[in-house]
């Protein structure tokens, strides 16, 4: 007795069809799984029999072998519970075969036969559509998520009994409604609360508009954390394609409680004690995306940058460079998208007061040096905008003037982004920060004044090749915020103010 159904397993963020073949033969009652099931899939053996028996179905008291193919793909995660159960039901002729062959199945079973919410359903539905299947049977709580995908019928079933009923034509599943975009996020903070800090506010507007990475340096209480958190309130909206990618990642991570399309750019701020696997992705068995991937198309905020483990900071180089991260494990490597904008904040030295006009730094020079080294090098190279956040005077803090609110800033950011999308539509770059240096140089239309300012900086500031490209990209964003086709002298001059050089031992702007 033989049955075959299509399941889907998740590798990284992608769903892969898996053929589940069940054979029932003579021998003592047993269930053997072959075809590279990971340990959690092996666990399924103990769940499936009680789930079948609690659903008014029969568990064949014979020797059952279930094979999962392709055999070279490691199958992880609980989503294969349902297809394995269906294979056994098909092999024991408890469900008819016609619909069985045209649908794929995914979901974790409870001992009572219920289908519980399972991470990764959006990827499963995308894979089913791509494989040309008629539809996909998923846990009812995930149906709205699966229905975000066009061109595939979604059956959301509360349990195994209903799935059997659907195949027999005795249970009519409700038509799931695609869960709409989640409501606009309530950040609870606004730029209006920030007094003064004109340069930092402006720098964050430029960062949001061009997708530039930012480093804020300043003494304790200067307002670095306050400023960085408000970056979330001025980020441009997500396109539908970007929203689907973000939603897929959050779904695989099991973080999609509300079920809907993620409606705004993620803002992730992991604590500096975070483990490497939580930051980059990992886990035993099923590999979950890390913070760098949960921040995909959004922002990763590393507050107190120097407190993070050195290897964690070093490991950010690959995602910052490629927009993706590869998690390597014994069982093979898994890749996740990880294209985020970085914002980092730090004190200038261990005591925090180096360069502060009001308080003396108490650090021995070599300690300051060591501290700076933590920040220097390859990571810093990828940060287009670096600036000192000065402490506000008492008068400024107590003063009446509230700053401009986030909403009008965000409107300017959106306009600047639209200009970039238009300009790079044929090249596929979403924003200035992602242009490779040579492309930025080639495409930058600069007035002769802008050119003169840049040329002057090469001599006066000792601008390196990388610094040169960075200045052009940031100046391009400044010009986009101004609605200018050409980079003028003023745009270039502003860009050059965002290049404080930490490695040179002084907090003065690079000179």
Ligand X SMILES: Nc1ncnc2c1ncn2[C@@H]1O[C@H](COP(=O)(O)OP(=O)(O)OP(=O)(O)O)[C@@H](O)[C@H]1O
User: What residues make contact with ligand X under the rule CB under 6 A?
Assistant: 194-197, 218, 220-226, 347, 392
> Is 137:5 a contact under the CB 8 Å cutoff?
no
Nearest residue (CB) to ligand X, 12 versus 196 = 196
Distances (CA, A) of 432 to 304, 321, 412: 27, 14, 15
Closest approach, Cβ 476 to ligand X, in A, equals: 28
Cis peptide before 70 (omega within 30 of 0): yes
- The site for Zn ion, by CB under 5 A, has a size of 5
Spatial separation of the C-alpha atoms in residues 270 and 342, rounded to whole Å: 12
What is the nearest approach in angstroms of ligand X to the Cβ of residue 368? 16
Q: Which residue is nearest to Mg ion (CB)?
A: 225
Contact predicate 71/38, CB 8 Å: no
Q: Return d(Cα 422, Cα 475) in angstroms, integer.
A: 18
Choose the one of Mg ion, Zn ion, ligand X, none that binds residue 11, judging by a C-beta under 5 to 8 angstroms depending on kind.
Answer: none
By a kind-dependent CB cut-off of 5 to 8 A, residue 351 interacts, out of ligand X, Mg ion, Zn ion, none, with Zn ion
User: Which does residue 220 bind out of ligand X, Zn ion, Mg ion, none, counting CB within 5 to 8 angstroms by kind?
Assistant: ligand X
What residue 269 binds from Mg ion, Zn ion, ligand X, none (CB within 5 to 8 A, per partner kind)?
none
Inter-residue contact 382 to 321 (CB < 8 Å): yes
Residue 225 interacts with Mg ion (CB under 5 A): yes or no: yes
By CB under 5 A, is residue 192 in contact with Zn ion? no
Tell me whether residue 141 is exposed, middle or buried, using C-beta atoms within 10 angstroms of its C-beta: 0 to 12, 13 to 18, 19 or more. Answer: middle
Shortest Å, Cβ 304 to ligand X: 7
By CB under 5 A, how many residues form the interface with Mg ion? 1
Smallest gap from residue 347 Cβ to Mg ion (A): 9
Give dist(CA 134, CA 6) in Å, integer: 12
Nearer to Zn ion, 108 or 354 (CB): 354
Chosen from Mg ion, Zn ion, ligand X, none, partner binding at 222 (C-beta under 5 to 8 Å by type): ligand X
Q: How far is the CB of 194 from Mg ion (least distance, A)?
A: 14
What does 291 bind: ligand X, Mg ion, Zn ion, none (CB cut-off 5 to 8 Å by kind)?
A: none
Select 227 or 295, whichever has its Cβ closest to Mg ion: 227
- Output the residue with the shortest Cβ distance to ligand X: 223
- The answer for 327, left when phi > 0, alpha when psi is -120 to 50, beta otherwise, is beta
Phi, psi torsion values for 147, nearest 5 degrees: -70, -5
Count of CB atoms situated within 10 Å of the CB of 51: 26
Query: In the complex with Mg ion, which residue's Cβ is closer, 225 or 269?
Result: 225
| Minimum distance from residue 222 beta carbon to Zn ion (Å) | 14
* Pick 114 or 223: Cβ nearer ligand X: 223
Nearer to Zn ion (CB atom), residue 292 or residue 351: 351
Q: To the nearest whole angstrom, how small is the minimum distance from the Cβ of residue 88 to ligand X? A: 58
List the structure tokens of 224.
Answer: 């670095």
- Burial environment of residue 79 by CB neighbours within 10 A (0 to 12, 13 to 18, 19 or more): buried
CB of 377 to Zn ion, least distance (A): 21
CB of 343 to Zn ion, least distance (A): 23
**Is the Cβ of residue 113 or residue 348 nearer to Zn ion in the bound state?**
348
| Nearer of residues 178 and 226 to ligand X, judged by Cβ | 226
Q: Cβ closer to Zn ion: 138 or 351? A: 351
* Neighbouring-strand partners of residue 299: 267, 341
Contact 387, 498 (CB under 8 A): yes
User: Nearer to ligand X by C-beta: 6 or 349?
Assistant: 349
CB of 181 to ligand X, least distance (A): 31
Q: What angle do CA 54, 57, 61 make, to 5 degrees?
A: 100
Write phi, then psi, for 35 (nearest 5 degrees).
Answer: 100, 45
- Residue 269 in contact with Mg ion, rule: CB under 5 A: no
Distance CA 142, CA 140 (A): 5
What is the CA 505 to chain-centroid distance, rounded?
A: 34
Q: Which stretch binds Mg ion (CB under 5 A): 19-27, 34-42, 224-232, 289-297?
A: 224-232
Kindly report the backbone phi and psi dihedral angles of residue 433, in degrees, each rounded to the nearest multiple of 5, phi listed first.
Answer: -60, -25
Which SS3 state, helix, strand or coil, does residue 452 take? helix
Rounded distance between C-alpha atoms, residue 430 and residue 323, angstroms:
13
User: Using an 8 Å Cβ cutoff, are 487 and 453 in contact?
Assistant: no
Rounded to a whole number of angstroms, the CA Rg of the chain reads: 27
For residue 278, the minimal CB distance to Mg ion (Å) is 21
Hey, which residues between 349 and 388 contact Mg ion (CB under 5 A)? Answer: none
- Beta strand residue intervals within 232-310, DSSP E: 267-268, 281-282, 288-289, 299-302
Three-state DSSP class for residue 224: helix
Contact of residue 80 among ligand X, Zn ion, Mg ion, none (CB under 5-8 Å per partner type): none
Q: With respect to Zn ion, which residue has the nearer C-beta, 162 or 354?
A: 354
Residues 344-373 that bind Zn ion (CB under 5 A): 349, 351, 354, 361, 363
Q: Which residues bind to Mg ion, rule: CB under 5 A?
A: 225
Q: Which residues bind to Zn ion, rule: CB under 5 A?
A: 349, 351, 354, 361, 363
């Amino acid at each position: 007795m033989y049955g075959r159904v299509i399941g889907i397993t998740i590798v990284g963020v992608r769903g892969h069809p898996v053929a589940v073949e069940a054979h029932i033969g003579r021998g003592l009652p047993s269930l053997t799984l072959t075809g590279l099931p990971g340990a959690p899939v092996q666990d399924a053996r103990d769940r499936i029999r009680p789930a079948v028996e609690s659903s008014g179905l029969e568990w064949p008291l014979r020797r059952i072998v279930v094979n999962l193919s392709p055999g070279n793909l490691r199958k992880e995660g609980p989503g294969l519970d349902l297809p394995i159960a269906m294979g056994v039901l098909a092999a024991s002729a408890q469900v008819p075969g016609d619909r069985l062959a045209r649908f794929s199945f995914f979901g974790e079973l409870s001992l009572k036969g219920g289908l519980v919410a399972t991470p990764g359903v959006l990827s499963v539905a995308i894979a089913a559509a791509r494989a040309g299947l008629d539809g996909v049977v998923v846990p009812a709580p995930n149906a709205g998520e699966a229905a975000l995908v066009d061109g595939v019928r979604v059956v959301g079933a509360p349990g195994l009994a209903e799935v059997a009923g659907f195949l027999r034509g005795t249970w009519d599943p409700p038509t799931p409604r695609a869960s709409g975009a989640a409501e606009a996020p309530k950040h609870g903070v606004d730029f209006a609360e920030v007094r003064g800090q004109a340069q930092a506010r402006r720098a964050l507007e430029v960062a949001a508009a061009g997708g530039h990475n930012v480093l804020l340096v300043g003494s304790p209480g200067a307002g670095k954390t306050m400023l960085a958190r408000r970056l979330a309130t001025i980020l441009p909206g997500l396109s539908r394609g970007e929203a689907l990618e973000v939603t897929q990642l959050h779904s695989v991570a099991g973080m999609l409680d509300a079920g809907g399309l993620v409606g705004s750019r993620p803002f992730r701020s992991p604590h500096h004690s975070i483990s490497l696997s939580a930051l980059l992705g990992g886990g035993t068995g099923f590999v979950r995306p890390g913070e760098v991937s949960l921040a995909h198309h959004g922002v990763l905020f590393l507050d107190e940058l120097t407190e993070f483990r050195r290897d964690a900071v070093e490991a950010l180089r690959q995602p910052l460079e490629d927009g993706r991260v590869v998690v390597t494990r014994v069982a093979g490597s898994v890749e996740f998208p990880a294209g985020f904008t970085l914002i980092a904040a730090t004190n200038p030295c261990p005591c925090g007061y180096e360069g502060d006009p009001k308080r003396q730094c108490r650090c021995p020079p070599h300690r300051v040096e060591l501290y700076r080294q933590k920040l220097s090098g390859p990571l810093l190279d990828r940060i287009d905008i670096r600036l000192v956040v000065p402490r506000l005077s008492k008068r400024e803090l107590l003063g009446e003037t509230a700053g401009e609110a986030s909403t009008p800033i965000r409107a300017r950011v959106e306009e600047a982004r639209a200009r970039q999308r238009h300009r790079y539509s044929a090249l596929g770059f979403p924003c200035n920060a992602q242009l490779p240096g040579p492309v930025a140089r080639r495409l930058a239309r600069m007035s002769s004044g802008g050119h003169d300012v840049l040329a002057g900086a090469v001599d006066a500031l000792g601008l390196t090749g990388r610094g040169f490209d960075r200045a052009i990209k940031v100046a391009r964003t400044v010009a986009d915020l101004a609605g200018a086709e050409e980079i003028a002298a003023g745009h270039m001059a502003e860009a050059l103010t965002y290049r404080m050089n930490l490695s040179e031992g002084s907090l003065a702007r690079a000179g």
